[in-house]
Structure formats: structure tokens, C-alpha cells
Amino acid sequence: MLKTTISEVYKYVDQEVKIGAWVANKRSSGKIAFLQLRDGTGFIQGVVVKSDVPEEVFQAAKAVTQESSVYITGKIQKDERSPFGYEMLVTGIEVIQAAVDYPITPKEHGTEFLMDHRHLWLRSRRQHAIMKIRNEIIRATYEFFNEQGFVKVDPPILTGSSAEGGSELFATKYFDEDAYLSQSGQLHLEAAAMALGKVFSFGPTFRAEKSKTRRHLIEFWMIEPEMAFYDHEDNLKVQEEYVSHIVQSVLKNCELELKTLGRDTSKLEQIKAPFPRITYDEAIKFLHEKGFDDVQWGDDLGAPHETAIAESYDKPVFITHYPTSLKAFYMQPDPNREEVVLCADLIAPEGYGEIIGGSERIHDYELMKQRIEENNLDLDTYKWYLELRKYGSVPHSGFGLGLERTVAWISGVEHVRETIPFPRLINRLYP
Ligand code: 4AD
Ligand code: MG
């Protein structure tokens, strides 16, 4: 018997095939049983008709329990009514392992219960769709940067210095030395850009942030491009083209998944470069006009502020030129206005908040040294980073896109905890 997967059944219409699967759900009457089958590649309905199969096959179908593993055989048929387009007319069932009392039933469960059962919850249709969209964003990311001539570089995860500020660091011991889990690969990527021109990394990052919001994870994945000879303006162009590419790729390749999630795709269709830009000054002025009296020039923008700004646009919006005092030590001050930096945060539409932080980097040796000292950072620790400004320094820029926030936005999922297989949250290290 020909063994295949659900994703490949379209090749075998009117043929009998064998599929290894799990029984996601089941309905049966005296004459017919409907098995919702899943195999990781997709979901298909198996129909078992009592009068068409040996009695023991029908009895096996009626008895099989939720999440039992099976080898199922049957004839593939076109099915116009299902969103998938095919169903299987079952001819045989071989139970591999019978599951007893699967904890996640088709009824409603609370989020904490589901999070405690994340190792099983991942099997559900909705979680499956989110993980497939996550995977498509990763695939489209490699496609985009490879096509643009970037070299993938892997910065270290154990570091001796902080990239984004000390308070959110996970400290550990590196034999006798103090070490930290990486908050961002950026500093090492700057070194790599001076060797390879245009580079990008994709890896895990760690922030010991005690934030309990729908946008914060303790461990998250970041895509970080870094480009030699690119200024602030060049940097924004890469960002809007990259984000447009991943959104359009998901629309093209994840139609079924977006449907499963009930995503309003008309909102995503509009996501095409160029994206609107406003300065931090304009953002503050806009917020005051909207009645946000709680924020003054020099204050960081909170989630409600970002959402209010994003609501005026149907595309992601860049907020540029933040006050120097709010941003990391390495950002290039605006030559015309030292109190702001050549940076941008990209705010996603529909209240999903900041998905990218980026900037032009300081390339002048003396200025970088001064900024390190002003920020009370240790010159010895940053010696190698400063040396990049000593030997053939060039203007360069880069950014970091948070994968989970991007998945949340594109999938239309409320909370980032559902966008990573095993979320690390302030109170969660299990499973
Ligand atoms: O704005 P951030 O902190 O920027 C950097 O780390 C730069 N060094 C990146 C660079 O220029 N190479 O973080 C970048 C993005 C944010 O815009 C957000 O999408 C995501 O990373 N992010 C988080 N995502 C989930 N949970 C958290 N705690 C996050 N913190 C940042
Ligand atoms: Mg940021």
C-alpha cells in the first residue's frame, strides 16, 4: 500500500493510500463514523461507512479515542464542502497506541490549563496554524536576505557584555567570569558586517524583563540584519521591503492557516512598501492633540501611545528620531540635532506594538568612546567594539525584528505566548 501524508493526498484522488495519523476528534452514529485525522502536515476527515467496510473496521472506528495514533488506509476523494478540499473513505484502521483520557477535550479550557499542557496543546488546529505561519515567516526571512546578498552569521549567546542595557540581563557564571545570555547579537554583528558587508542573524535572545504583558517574552527570537555603508534612510528601506515580503509570503503560502485563525486578510493585503514615517516630535504632538496629557517630550512611548499612533494608519508606521537619552549608547546622534538619534521603531497596525527597533550606529571613535563612558560602561569590556571604530570605520546601520510579535500580528493572535512553541514567561518555565 502506498504510504503518504495528508499534504500530499491531492496526488492520489481515487486511489487507496496509507497515512500515519492521530485522531483529533470523532463523531459517529450507528451507520457512519467521521474521524478528524491529523498527521502534522494537515487535517483531513476520514469517513467510515458501516455498510462498506468489514464489521471490525467499523467497530475500531467507533471505539478509537481522541489522540490515539493510527495507521489509516482509505480512498482519497475530492470534497468541495471542506476547506481542505479532500476527504478519505476509510477502508482500514490499525491502532498504534490507544490514548486514554486525553486532557484537552473539544470543550473550552482556561489559558493556564492549556499552558500547563503546552506539550499537547501544540497539536490543536489553531496552534498548528500559528506554528505554520511562524515557519513561513522564517522561510521568507531566509529567502529575502539570501536574495539580497546578506550572509547569515551566528553571534554568540554567552556574552561578556550587555548590548541593550544592564537591568534586563540574565547573569550566569562562565567558569570564574561573569557572563550573560545575549539580549541582542547586534554588537558582534557589527564586527561581522565589517568583514562581510551585509549580514543577518536569527537566534534566541533573553531579557529578564519583569513585564507581564501580551507583548513580552523572557526568551524570544530575533532577526538582526546589519549593513556596512547603509545610513538611516537605507536602513528604513530594507525594513519596509523585508516586512512587506514576509506578509505577502504568508498571504500566498498560508491561506488555509489564516482561514483557520479567522484572520482578516484584507488588512494584510495592504502591507506593501513604502511605510509611513513620523518623527518622535510629531508623535508627541499628535498624542497631545488626542488628549494624552501623561506623556511629555523625553518620555518613552507606552503601549497605549503606540496603539493610538498606529490606529491612524493601515500600514506599519516608523517613529523616527527618538531622544538620545531614551535609546541605547551606540545610536548615531542626528548631526543637525544632537538631542535626537537616527533611529526608528516600527509599530505594527491593529495594536500589536513595536515589532522592529533599529538605528544608524555611531562610527566615530571619539564619540563612541564618550558614549560608552557617559553610560558608565566598562571600556575594557567594550574594547573590541571600540576597535571597530579604529580600523576602517564606516557608517553602518541595522535593526532587530522580534519574531513572536510579528507572528502575533500577522496571525491576528492576541498574545505572544501562543506564537512560540514553548513560551518562557515571567512565571513559566514548564513544560
Ligand atoms: O528594540 P530592541 O530592544 O532592539 C535591539 O535589541 C537592537 N539591538 C536590535 C538591533 O538593532 N540589532 O528589540 C528589537 C525587537 C523589538 O522591536 C521587539 O519586536 C522584540 O525585539 N522584543 C521582544 N519580543 C518579545 N519579548 C520581549 N521581551 C522583547 N523585547 C524586544
Ligand atoms: Mg525597542
Say if ligand 1 is within 6 A of residue 209 CB: yes
Say if ligand 1 is within 6 A of residue 224 CB: yes
pLDDT in tens, the chain (431 residues): 899 999 999 999 999 999 999 999 999 999 999 999 999 999 999 999 999 999 999 999 999 999 999 999 999 999 999 889 999 999 999 999 999 999 999 889 999 999 999 999 999 999 999 999 999 999 999 999 999 999 999 999 999 988 787 779 999 999 999 999 999 999 999 999 999 999 999 999 999 988 899 999 999 999 999 999 999 999 999 999 999 999 999 999 999 999 999 999 999 999 999 999 999 999 999 999 999 999 999 999 999 999 999 999 999 999 999 999 999 999 999 999 999 999 999 999 999 999 999 999 999 999 999 999 999 999 999 999 999 999 999 999 999 999 999 999 999 999 999 999 999 999 999 99
Q: Give the start-end residues of each E strand in 50-142.
A: 69-78, 86-97
Neighbours of 145 (CB within 10 A): 21
Q: What is the pLDDT of residue 12?
A: 98
Which ligand is closest to the CA of 155, given by its number? 1
CA distance readout (Å), 410 to 35, 132, 284, 354, 416: 31, 12, 27, 13, 12
> Which protein residue's CA is at the shortest distance from atom 30 of ligand 1?
216
Distance (Å) from CA 183 to ligand 1 centroid: 8
Q: What is the pLDDT of residue 329?
A: 96
Say if ligand 1 is within 6 A of residue 407 CB: no
Distance (Å) from CA 141 to ligand 2 centroid: 20
Contact by Cβ (8 Å): 183, 218: no
Distance (Å) from CA 268 to ligand 2 centroid: 23
Report the SS3 class of residue 138. helix
Residue to probe by mutation, ligand 1, list 222, 330, 403, most atoms within 8 Å of CB: 222
Give 2-97's CATH code, choosing from 2.40.50.140, 3.40.109.10, 2.130.10.10, 3.30.300.30: 2.40.50.140
Residue 1 is inside which H or E element, if any? none
Say if ligand 1 is within 6 A of residue 190 CB: no
Task: Enumerate the domain spans of the chain.
Answer: 2-97, 119-418
Contact by Cβ (8 Å): 155, 182: yes
Say if ligand 1 is within 6 A of residue 355 CB: yes
> Which protein residue's CA is at the shortest distance from atom 28 of ligand 1?
216
Class of domain 119-418 (CATH, top level) = alpha beta
Q: What average pLDDT is seen over the chain?
A: 97
Q: What is the pLDDT of residue 211?
A: 87
Q: What is the pLDDT of residue 164?
A: 81
Which amino acid belongs to residue 9? Answer: V
Say if ligand 1 is within 6 A of residue 163 CB: yes
> Which protein residue's CA is at the shortest distance from atom 20 of ligand 1?
402
Say if ligand 1 is within 6 A of residue 199 CB: no
Q: What are phi and psi of 8, to 5 degrees?
A: -105, 0
Say if ligand 1 is within 6 A of residue 385 CB: no
Distance (Å) from CA 344 to ligand 1 centroid: 12
Q: What is the pLDDT of residue 109?
A: 96
Can you state the angle between helices 125-147 and 403-411, rounded to 10 degrees?
120
Say if ligand 1 is within 6 A of residue 38 CB: no
